[in-house]
Amino acid sequence: MSRILLVDDDRFVLRSLEKLLVAEGYICRTATNGADALHLLQKEAFNMVILDVGLPDTDGFTLCRKLRTNFKMPVIYLSARADYADKVVGLELGGDDYLTKPFEPRELVARMRSHMRRAEEYNKEETDLQQIHLGNILIDAGQRDAYKVGEALNLTEKEFALLFLLAQHPERAVATNRIFEEVWGFNSESGSKTVAVTIRRLRCKLENDPDNPALLITVRGFGYRLTSGIASSHT
C-alpha cells in the first residue's frame, strides 16, 4: 500500500486531502511545516510527497530542493499561485507536477496514480539493465542515475527517465509529446513546457555549457535528441 506525505499549513486542506486519499487506499502522514516534513522523511519511507508551496517556516520550492538531495520519490506541488514562472521554478527545483488551487480532486488522484505507476515501473528490477556511455557521461539504469567523470549527478526520476528514453534512441529526434506521454504518463496542454524545464535541468547537470548544449539538442518544432558520442551500450 502506497504511503503519501501531505505537507500543507492549512489543516482543513490536510484533513480533506487525507480523507480523499485514505478512501482511495493510500496511507497518509501529514505535516504543517517544512521541518516536520523533513523529520518524517528521515524516519519513514514514502512513495510520494504532495507539497504546498506556501509554508510558515520555508517555501515548498526550497523544501523540494532539500529533499531532492536524498530522496527520489515523485513530488506534486499544490499552490494558489497560477503564474507560469512559479511552475517553471518548481519544476526546475525537482518537482514532478504542479496543480493550482482550487483543483479537481479526481485530477489529483489521477496524476498521483500516473506518477507512482511510472516510478514503480522505473524502479522495478529489469533483466537487461543497461549502462550507456555518452562521452564522459555514464547512464546507469540499475542505479537510476547518471555519472559525469565518475561523479553522480543525482538525477530525479523524471530527469533520469527522460535521459534514458533519449539514450535508447541515439541520434534520433524524439517528439516532445511522446517524451511527455512516456515519462509523465498522461496528456497535458502544458506538456511541452514541462519537458522543456526538465531538459534545462538535465543540461545544467550534463553539459559543460548548458546555454550551448553539445549533447542534448533541441530539434525546433519537433522535440529533442542526444548527439553522437554514445560509445557503447551493454548489460
CATH 1.10.10.10 in the chain is located at 131-234
Give the pLDDT confidence score for residue 184 in this predicted structure. Answer: 81
pLDDT at 167 over 70: yes
Letter for the amino acid at 74?
P
Distance, CA of 78 to CA of 235 (rounded, Å): 40
Whether the CB-CB separation of 96 and 158 falls below 8 Å is answered with yes
Give the pLDDT confidence score for residue 124 in this predicted structure. Answer: 58
pLDDT at 125 over 60: no
At the second CATH level, the architecture of 3-123 is 3-Layer(aba) Sandwich (3.40)
pLDDT at 113 over 60: yes
Assign 231 a pLDDT band (cuts: 50, 70, 90).
very low
Give the pLDDT confidence score for residue 232 in this predicted structure. Answer: 39
Fold of 131-234: Arc Repressor Mutant, subunit A (1.10.10)
> What DSSP designation does 227 have?
P
Residue where the block lists cell 530539434: 219
What pTM was computed for the model?
A: 0.65
Q: Which of 229, 194, 216 is nearest to 95 (CA)?
A: 194
Give the pLDDT confidence score for residue 183 in this predicted structure. Answer: 86
Distance, CA of 86 to CA of 89 (rounded, Å): 5
Q: What is the mean pLDDT of residues 140-145?
A: 86
CATH 3.40.50.2300 in the chain is located at 3-123
pLDDT at 136 over 90: no
